[in-house]
Structure 1
C-alpha cells in the first residue's frame, strides 16, 4: 500500500554530495559584482550617500540625504554598511565595495538560516537543497550583491523560519531567533509584515501539527523577546528627534503601506504574479509540485509554509507600491516547500529542468564570451557595433583577475553538468551552478562595459572636459559657482561622488547652473547651454550646464 511518510520520519537518503561543495558554490555565488564598479541605480547612490552622512556625524536613527530624512532606507543596513566602511575601506576594499559587504553578510545570514530550517524540518540533505534553490532564484542576485535595503528583510525572514524549525526541541534558541527576526523585520520593513507573521504564529495551533507544549512556550518566549525589542527603535527616535518620530509614526509606521494617519493599500496581484515567474524560479514550480502531494498537510513545515504564503501573499497583493524586491517575503517558504519533495520529483521533470538549465545558461555563457571578444577585439564586427551602441563610453579593459575567475568558472560548470543519473537534487544543483556561472561571467567579462553604461562617472567627466581652463580656475578659486536644485538628489549625488567641482545647492545667484532634464531641451530665457549629456541610451534623463546671460 502506498502511504505518505513525513520527512521527519524518513530514513536519510544517502548522497554523494559533499557539504564543502555547497559552501564553495555559495562562496563563488556571493562575491562577483561586489567589487570594482561605481554606484548603480536605483538604490546604491542614495544608500552610499546616507552611509557617508552617518559616518560624518548624522543622527543614526533615520537616513539622511544631504540633511533631508529618508525613511525608506533601513537604519540597520546603514549601521552595518558604515561599520564595514570603517573596517575595510580603503585598505581592503574601496568605499563602495565595503558598503556592499552589508548586503553580503545579511544574505549569508538569510541563506544559513533557511538552510538550517530545511535541515531541521526535512532532514540533512534537504537543508542543502533549500540553499541551492535560493541561490538558483534570480531575484536574490541584485539583493545579495548591490547595496539595498532588502537583504536585512531576507535575513530576518530566514531567522524567523529557523526559529519555527527549532520549536519542537530547542525552545530558547527558537524564541530568540523568532523574536529577533521579528524585531529586525520591524526596523527593516515596517511593523505590518512582522505583526502579520506574529499573528500567523499565534494562529498555527489551529492545526494539530502545531499543538504541542514546546511550541506554546516558544511562542510566548518569542513574543517576550520581540515586543520589547520592537519598541527600542521608536523610543530612541522619539527621544533623539521628536519631530522625525512624528513623521515616522504618521507616514512610515507600517513601512511601504504608510503610517497611522495615511495608511494606503492597492491591488497589485497581477504585477507580483508576473514578476514571481522569474524572481522565484525554480522555487515556485518545485513548491507547486509539493503542494500537489497530499501529505504536506500532515506536516509542520507544510502548515507553516502555506500559512506564511497566504499571509505574505495577501500583503503583497494589497501593497500600494509595485516593488519587485518585495517578493523576497515569499522566498523562504517557497524554497522550503520546493525542497520537501525534491527527491520525489519525477525523472522527466528533473531531466527537463536540467536540460533547460544547461541550454539556457550554456547559450548565455557562450554569448558572454563571444560578446567579450567582440567589444574588446572587434570581432564579430556586428556584435562589436551593438556593444558600442549600448555602451559607447566603454574602452577595452581586460583585467587579469576577472579573466582568471571567468576562465576558471566555465570548465567547472561544464564538469558539473556532465554527471549522470540526474534526479531532482542534481537538477537543482546544476541550475544553481548555471546561475552562478552566468552571474560570474556577467560580473567579470562584462563588468567594465556595464559600469560604463550604468555609472554617472562618464557623464560627469564629459561635463568637466567641456569646461575651459579659465572656467576651471574660476571654480577652484571660488570666483564662480555652479548652482543646482537642492531637491535634485540624483544630480547632487553624482557630482559629489565623481567630481571635485563644488555645487551650490539652492543658490540661484550662481552664474552657472547644472540641471537634470531630458536631452535636447531648450535653455530657458536668459541662459545659454554650454554642455549637455546623458548616460548611454537614456532617452528620459539628461543633464545640462547652463550659463546666465550677461
Structure 2
C-alpha cells in the first residue's frame, strides 16, 4: 500500500515568481561587488581570464597565467572565458565570468525542479484515493513535490559557497542535476532522443570534472534499468555510452591534433583522474561521516525517511533512481584517497529529489522539530551577523568590535545605505515567514523546509551585504597585487615564482604581473611566497638577487611575499 494519503489542499504550489525570486536572492548576493577570493574561486577565474585574453592554445591547455592546471576539465572555464569575451568590456572581467556561475546555478535548480515534477506525476507516486474524493491531481501533486525539492536544494549548506565560485564544481553539480532530468526522460520514454541527450550530458560532465562521476552515474542507471524494461538497458549501452565517450573525446582529440604550446595536456588530465581513485581508507570514511551531516543538511534526514516510508515500493522509479545515484556517489567518495568536499557535491541533487518524496509521509511532530531547529539556529545566526555588523560600525559591544577588527588590521568600516536597506528588508521578510508558519499552521507539503531554505538565504544575504566589505578585505589579493605591479616595468619582462594558482591569478589580473610561461624560467625577476618568520631566500650566496619589495596582506600575518631582481654578472 502507498504510504501517502493527502487532500488537495496540501498540494498548494508556490507561485512561479516566488520560486524565481528565491533563486535570485540565493545566487546574486556574493557575486557582485567583490574581488576573486583567495581560494579555488580566484584560481578558476584565473584560468577563465587567461583563456579570454589568450590564443587558441590557452583555450586547449588550461593554465593560470602560465601555471598549468591539468586537473578537472576545460568546459566550465571555456564558458566563463566566453562571457568575459562578451561582457568583460561592460561589466569587468571578474563580474562577467560570474555570469556563467549564475547560469550554472539556474540549470541545476531548474533540473532538480523538473526532475522531481516528472517523477511526482507518475502513477506509482500518487496519494491514495480518499473515500469521498478530494485527493490532489497528478500535476498539482508533482508540482508541489518539485517545489519542496527545490527548497531542500537551496537549503543544503554544502551548496552555498561552491555555487557562488567560478569553479568547475559549480558546473558539475548543475550538470548532474540536468543528467538526472535527462535520465528521468529516458526512463519514461525510452526513446532514442532521450538516450542521446543523456549521452551528450554525461560527455560534457567528463569535460567538466573528469570521468569518475559520469561513469558512476551511468553505472547506477545500468543497475536500476532492469526493473524498467530491457529496451532501456540497450539504449544505455548502445547509445548513451558511445555518445558520451564521443563527446568527451572532443578535447583530447583536439589536443592530440593541434599540440598546444608544443605539447599535450591530456596525459596529465588522465593522471589526475586516476589519482582520485584508491582502495577505501579509514581517512576517507572518517571524512565522509564527519562532513556529510552538515554538508547535506537538511536533505539527508528527509531522504532517509523517504527510503523507509517507501520501502514497500522499492521498485518505484522515484526511489530507485535517486537512491541508486546516491549509493554510487557515496562509494566513489569512499574510494577517494583522502576525502574531498568536491566529491560530496554530486550527492546534493539526488538527495534533494529523494528527500522531496519524504515530505508527504513525515509526521507532524517531526516536521515541527525540523522547523523549530531551523528557526532557532538560523535566527540566532542572523542575529549574530547583525550584532557583529553593529559592533564594527559603532564599536559596541567593544569586545566583539575589537575581535572583528583584529582579524582585518587596517580595515575601515563604511556605512552603505543600500546594503543596509536590503539586509533590513530581508530580515523583516524572514520575521513575516516565521509568523506565517507559526500562526497559520499551513498544511502544504513544502512547509517543512521553507524555514530551512529561507533562513539559509537570509544568512547568506546578510553576510554578502553587511559583511561583504570586511570579507573582501580579508580574502582579496588586490592590494598586494597592485603594490607588486608598481615595482615592475610596464612591459618586456617575466617573473619566476612559487606562488599558488589563486595568488598567481590575482597578481596577473590586478597587478598586471607577467609570469613565466610553462618552461620559460629565464626571467629577470623572482617573486617568492613564504612564511614571514622563515624566508625561503635566507642568503644570496653569489649576490645576484636584489630585494625590491616585500609585503603581505594585512589580514594574514604568516604569509609574506618578496620580489627580487636578478643582477647579471
Structure 1 length-normalised TM: 0.87
Specify the alignment match of 2:308 in structure 1. Answer: 292
Specify the alignment match of 1:40 in structure 2. Answer: 37
**Per-residue CA distance 1:387-418 (angstroms, 9 max, x = gap):** 11111232222334323321221111111111
Query: For residues 533 and 487 of structure 1, do their structure 2 counterparts lie closer, same or farther at Cα, with a shift above 3 Å needed?
Result: closer
How far does residue 524 in structure 1 lie from its aligned partner after superposition? 2.1
Specify the alignment match of 1:435 in structure 2. Answer: 456
Residue 202 of structure 1, aligned match among 205, 222, 227:
222
**Per-residue CA distance 1:199-218 (angstroms, 9 max, x = gap):** 22222234x3x226567557
| Higher RCO structure, 1 or 2 (CA under 8 Å, sep 6+) | 2
**Per-residue CA distance 1:99-151 (angstroms, 9 max, x = gap):** 12212211211111111110011222111111111100011112221111112
Q: Is the 8 A contact 2:211 2:273 kept in 1?
A: no
Q: Is the 8 A contact 2:74 2:208 kept in 1?
A: yes
**Per-residue CA distance 1:346-385 (angstroms, 9 max, x = gap):** 1111111111111111111111112112212322222111
How far does residue 238 in structure 1 lie from its aligned partner after superposition? 1.7
Specify the alignment match of 1:497 in structure 2. Answer: 509
Specify the alignment match of 1:189 in structure 2. Answer: 209
Query: For residues 108 and 496 of structure 1, do their structure 2 counterparts lie closer, same or farther at Cα, with a shift above 3 Å needed?
Result: same
Aligned length: 530
**Per-residue CA distance 1:291-318 (angstroms, 9 max, x = gap):** 2222351311211222212211111111
How far does residue 168 in structure 1 lie from its aligned partner after superposition? 4.7
**Per-residue CA distance 1:11-67 (angstroms, 9 max, x = gap):** 794316323212211111110001111111221222222222212214222312233
Specify the alignment match of 2:321 in structure 1. Answer: 304
**Per-residue CA distance 1:128-182 (angstroms, 9 max, x = gap):** 1111111000111122211111122112211221122223544355324422221
Specify the alignment match of 1:61 in structure 2. Answer: 60
How far does residue 76 in structure 1 lie from its aligned partner after superposition? 0.9
Specify the alignment match of 1:112 in structure 2. Answer: 110
Specify the alignment match of 1:544 in structure 2. Answer: 562
* 1:263-278 paired onto structure 2 within 5 Å: 264-265=278-279, 267=281, 268-278=284-294
Query: For residues 218 and 518 of structure 1, do their structure 2 counterparts lie closer, same or farther at Cα, with a shift above 3 Å needed?
Result: closer
Distance 1:478 1:110 in 2: 43
Q: Is the 8 A contact 2:507 2:513 kept in 1?
A: yes
User: Secondary structure of 1:292's match?
Assistant: helix
* 1:93-492 paired onto structure 2 within 5 Å: 93-122=91-120, 123-170=142-189, 171=191, 174-206=194-226, 208=227, 210-211=228-229, 213=231, 217=235, 220-223=238-241, 225-241=243-259, 248-249=266-267, 251-253=268-270, 256-258=273-275, 264-265=278-279, 267=281, 268-293=284-309, 294-419=311-436, 420-421=440-441, 425-460=446-481, 475-476=488-489, 483-485=495-497, 489-492=501-504
How far does residue 283 in structure 1 lie from its aligned partner after superposition? 0.5
**Per-residue CA distance 1:476-508 (angstroms, 9 max, x = gap):** 5889x8954267555543332232566678777
| Structure 1, 70-79 or 118-127: larger mean CA deviation | 70-79
Q: Is the 8 A contact 2:13 2:147 kept in 1?
A: no
Q: Which runs of 5+ in 1 are unaligned?
A: none
Query: For residues 530 and 62 of structure 1, do their structure 2 counterparts lie closer, same or farther at Cα, with a shift above 3 Å needed?
Result: closer
How far does residue 229 in structure 1 lie from its aligned partner after superposition? 2.0
User: Secondary structure of 2:14's match?
Assistant: coil
Distance 1:313 1:477 in 2: 51
Q: Is the 8 A contact 1:167 1:174 kept in 2?
A: yes
Specify the alignment match of 1:525 in structure 2. Answer: 539
How far does residue 321 in structure 1 lie from its aligned partner after superposition? 4.6
| Structure 1, 319-328 or 527-536: larger mean CA deviation | 527-536
User: Secondary structure of 2:562's match?
Assistant: strand
Query: For residues 154 and 300 of structure 1, do their structure 2 counterparts lie closer, same or farther at Cα, with a shift above 3 Å needed?
Result: same
Q: Is the 8 A contact 2:477 2:506 kept in 1?
A: yes
Distance 1:174 1:352 in 2: 41
Distance 2:363 2:513 in 1: 63
**Per-residue CA distance 1:439-496 (angstroms, 9 max, x = gap):** 01101110110010111123345668xx9xxxx6xx55889x8954267555543332
